[in-house]
């Protein structure tokens, strides 16, 4: 999208200087605003035309059937789908009785700017109606970080030539008409009108509505209030019906006069509270916003973001497009998580209905590593949500005949929502990802209260699953058989290396935590024998290795499979799962997304430098990147093995996944995990940051495409500023007690306010790894040596 002429480069904003009707849905996703609780897609104020309208509340969903041709034990019978809640961003304008609609009349100019520092989406348009009335419309929209339940709009109309009669209609609309959800008519019927009206009322320019979902039984409240300013003779009118409410302001505007409307919208929901309680909640939120007023909300938004950028900004010198994409990514990941407050972080955040609004393993493995270093409070929140779903995960494990907890592959409320078990329900590695996120968070923050509470609970129940899922063979080796790793083109495999190594970390982490917090461990019935069994399984964990090829097979026997015929695969047949049966994919050497390479990223200490290089080369030739999750991981390991140009190409792919709509599905929402993966590619890849055990290491190296990389991270209660050039790295402890780090293996002690500069060793040149035919990432520097 940013390659299109209407998008311009701006290091601190996403700017669209024209309106392309063919890309409305994509623009609505990238211009979306949210705070982790409430999300509004970037739909035009007047609501039409649109690509995919959307207003979302985190955790609000409707149940839907999961149809099967045959019944079988253990498969979920229903799923959960995010729904479009009451639309509160609707503001329609009539000029001399002609509706402002960009498809009619003459649109003289149109600009939208999403400012990453202010959090405001600003729209400016000049339009001449079919009857000749000319107006300028300026609107600003925010979803508040400081007021979790509040969004607000500042809307202004002024005539350009002569006097005009204008009417502004501000609405609340439930059960908004949407495009069909998918090809299943039963699902479409479920979601067509998911909200049942329970209550509506109005008083002056304020309206409140309460609805309930038909199947999931969730109660949703939405309310709006207004401050309206215009010339003498301004008239207002308010009407409310069960699914639609409207406040209208009408006046005659002479040249130089303006009609201004500030709209405050409050949202709330509950699965347990009464209608009156939900109603009163949103009215109270609305009163708080009215008290802050528009200038106050704007100032609070800027202050919140100033603090975020102070501890999180990443500066990339050398490629302006990547610099813009980096801040776009940081902003959207923050929006997905900031005020979730013990709710999930969906794969699309709150920017669209893609993946049914589900949270996956993406959260812990891709998003939380970034947030741990930038917004650790959001990490604790996301893990507390996982903890809240423990009862469902324990029940699921019991249903499968296992101990501990089996967390779902995809979910909103904690129940498993996947109907295809080989590529999802067998992916038990989601458990290890959750445990890994706990261990990383505690190592990075030193949060002992969390570690001995929520963290220990999660570690213990996930460790119990591995001990019951795996087994010792006659030689004492511990195996985990019949599982699916991160690569969904290989299913029901034995001894998947990623799964085994992550389970090993889980088991050892749980045993150490139980030893550290003995009283809490006893409450969880962890005794010395169980902890010893965890350590024994971890020590004996079998990690397959192919001696003939000198590489680790992705899973036992994988390197003996036939290699996929990449040369005979047409470019239009990617992604492969849309053109070939899984049966064919499962029995071939073809990798959808980084799997063994992901293991090298998260368990790097388990591999030698030589093994990493050989493994990387081997799996590069097999990985087709049919998943947006892959590029960031491949960037990290490419940088580690010395292929810096290739790493930068993968970084660009992760960073531009949505801005360039690389997978042609940005219309459904942005790819939050890919955006977070871009950050990890910079910090873990080019800066070489490793902190899993609490021992913080840096191994910085920059590609030719980057002249400088600078960033701030939060570690162990300290802010650390790092500035890297091709020749040196500068470390500055901004605040906090002295901190010991490693620079390319050499210990360095940092003291607050005293920068330390160290030289960067040169990279040994190596041949560029080869990818499958037609799957080489786009070169950011076309003349890069092969």
Cβ contacts of 307 within 8 Å, gap of 6 or more: none
Assigned token pair, 155? 């809307």
**Cis amide bond preceding 256, omega within 30:** no
How many residues comprise the chain? 786
Between CA 699 and CA 701 the distance in angstroms is 7
Cβ contacts of 131 within 8 Å, gap of 6 or more: 95, 96, 98
Q: Where are the beta strands (DSSP E) in 255-381?
A: 259-270, 314-317
| Contact between residue 123 and residue 14 where contact means Cβ atoms under 8 Å apart | no
The vertex-276 CA angle with 275 and 280, nearest 5°, equals 120
Q: Tell me which of 488, 620, 643, 653 is the catalytic residue.
A: 488
Which residue has 């801005």 as its token pair?
Answer: 659
Quote the longest CA-to-CA distance of the chain: 91
| Contact between residue 53 and residue 43 where contact means Cβ atoms under 8 Å apart | yes
What is the phi-psi region of residue 366: left when phi exceeds 0, alpha when psi lies from -120 to 50, beta otherwise? alpha
Helix pair angle (390-399, 456-469), 10° resolution: 10
Cα 282 → chain centroid: 27
Cα 160 → chain centroid: 42
- Run of H or E including 503: helix 497-516
Q: Is 70 a catalytic residue?
A: no
Cα distances (Å, whole numbers) of residue 163 to 130, 233, 328: 16, 14, 41
Cα distances (Å, whole numbers) of residue 396 to 359, 400, 402, 403, 433: 17, 6, 9, 10, 18
- Residue 734's nearest CA partner among 724, 725, 745, 723 is 723
Question: Cα torsion at 330, 333, 339, 342 (round to 10°)?
Answer: -140
Between CA 149 and CA 265 the distance in angstroms is 8
Q: Which residues are known to be catalytic?
A: 488
């Amino acid at each position: 999208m940013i390659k299109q002429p209407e998008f311009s480069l701006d290091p601190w904003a996403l700017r669209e200087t024209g309106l392309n009707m063919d890309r409305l849905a994509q623009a609505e996703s990238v211009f979306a605003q949210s705070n982790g609780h409430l999300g509004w897609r970037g739909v035009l104020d007047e609501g039409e035309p649109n690509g995919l309208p959307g207003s979302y509340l985190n955790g609000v969903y409707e149940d839907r059937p999961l149809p099967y041709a045959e019944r079988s034990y253990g498969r979920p019978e229903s799923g959960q789908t995010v729904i479009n809640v009451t639309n509160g961003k609707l503001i329609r304008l009539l000029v001399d009785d002609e509706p402002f609609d960009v498809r009619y009349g003459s649109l003289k100019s149109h600009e939208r700017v999403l400012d990453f520092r202010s959090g405001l989406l600003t729209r400016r348009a000049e339009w001449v109606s079919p009857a000749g009335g000319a107006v300028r419309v300026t609107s600003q929209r925010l979803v508040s970080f400081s007021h979790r339940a509040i969004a607000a709009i500042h809307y202004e109309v002024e005539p350009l030539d002569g006097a005009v009669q204008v009417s502004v209609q501000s609405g609340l609309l439930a059960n908004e008409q949407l495009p069909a959800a998918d090809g299943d008519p039963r699902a479409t019927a479920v979601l067509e009108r998911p909200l049942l009206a329970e209550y509506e009322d109005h008083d002056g320019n304020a309206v409140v509505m309460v609805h309930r979902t038909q199947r999931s039984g969730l109660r949703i409240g939405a309310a709006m209030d207004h401050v309206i300013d215009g010339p003498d003779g301004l008239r207002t009118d308010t009407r409310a019906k069960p699914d639609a409410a409207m406040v209208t302001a009408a006046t005659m505007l002479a040249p130089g006069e303006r009609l201004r409307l500030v709209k405050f919208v409050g949202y709330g929901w509950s699965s347990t509270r009464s209608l009156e309680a939900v109603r009163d909640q949103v009215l109270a939120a609305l009163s708080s916003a009215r008290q802050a007023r528009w200038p106050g909300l704007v100032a609070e938004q800027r202050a919140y973001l100033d603090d975020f950028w102070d501890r999180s900004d990443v500066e990339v010198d050398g490629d302006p497009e990547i610099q813009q994409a980096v801040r776009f990514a940081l902003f959207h990941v923050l929006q997905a998580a900031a005020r979730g407050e013990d709710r999930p972080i969906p794969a699309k955040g709150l920017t669209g209905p893609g993946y049914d609004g589900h949270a996956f393993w993406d959260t812990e493995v891709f998003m939380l590593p970034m947030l741990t270093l930038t917004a650790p409070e959001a990490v604790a929140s996301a893990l507390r949500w996982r903890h809240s779903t423990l009862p469902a995960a324990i029940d699921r494990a019991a249903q499968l005949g296992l101990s501990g907890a089996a967390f779902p592959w995809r979910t909103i409320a904690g129940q498993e929502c996947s109907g295809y078990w080989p590529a999802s329900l067998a992916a038990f590695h989601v458990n290890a990802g959750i445990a890994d996120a706990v261990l990383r968070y505690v190592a990075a923050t030193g949060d002992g209260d969390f570690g001995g509470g929520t963290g220990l609970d999660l570690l213990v129940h996930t460790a119990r699953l591995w001990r019951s899922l795996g087994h010792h063979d006659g030689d004492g080796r511990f195996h985990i058989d019949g599982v699916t790793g991160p690569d969904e083109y290989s299913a029901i495999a034995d001894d998947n290396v990623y799964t085994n190594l992550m389970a090993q970390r889980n088991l050892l982490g749980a045993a150490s935590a139980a030893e550290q917090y003995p009283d809490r461990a006893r409450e969880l019935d962890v005794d010395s024998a169980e902890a010893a069994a965890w350590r024994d399984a971890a020590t004996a964990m079998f990690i397959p290795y192919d001696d003939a090829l000198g590489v680790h097979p992705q899973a036992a026997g994988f390197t003996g499979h036939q290699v996929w015929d990449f040369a005979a695969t047409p470019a239009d047949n990617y992604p492969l799962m849309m053109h070939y049966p899984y049966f064919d994919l499962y029995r071939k050497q073809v990798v959808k997304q980084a799997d063994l390479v992901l293991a090298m990223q998260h368990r790097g200490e388990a591999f030698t430098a030589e093994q990493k290089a050989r493994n990387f080369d081997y799996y590069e030739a097999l990985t087709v990147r049919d998943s947006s999750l892959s590029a960031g991981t491949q960037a990290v390991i490419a940088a580690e093995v010395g292929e810096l140009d290739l790493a930068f190409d993968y970084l660009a792919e992760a960073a531009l996944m949505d801005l360039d709509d690389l997978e042609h599905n940005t219309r459904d929402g942005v790819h939050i995990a890919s955006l977070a993966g871009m950050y990890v590619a910079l910090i873990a890849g080019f800066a070489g940051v490793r902190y899993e055990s609490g021992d913080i290491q840096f191994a910085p190296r920059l590609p030719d495409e980057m002249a400088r990389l600078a960033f701030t991270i939060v570690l162990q209660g300290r802010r650390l500023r790092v500035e890297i050039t091709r020749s040196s790295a500068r470390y500055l402890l901004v605040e906090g007690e002295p901190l010991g780090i490693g620079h390319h293996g050499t210990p360095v002690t940092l003291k607050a306010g005293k920068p330390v500069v160290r030289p960067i060793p040169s990279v040994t040149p190596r041949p560029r790894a080869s990818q499958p035919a037609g799957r080489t990432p786009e070169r950011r520097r076309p003349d890069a040596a092969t």
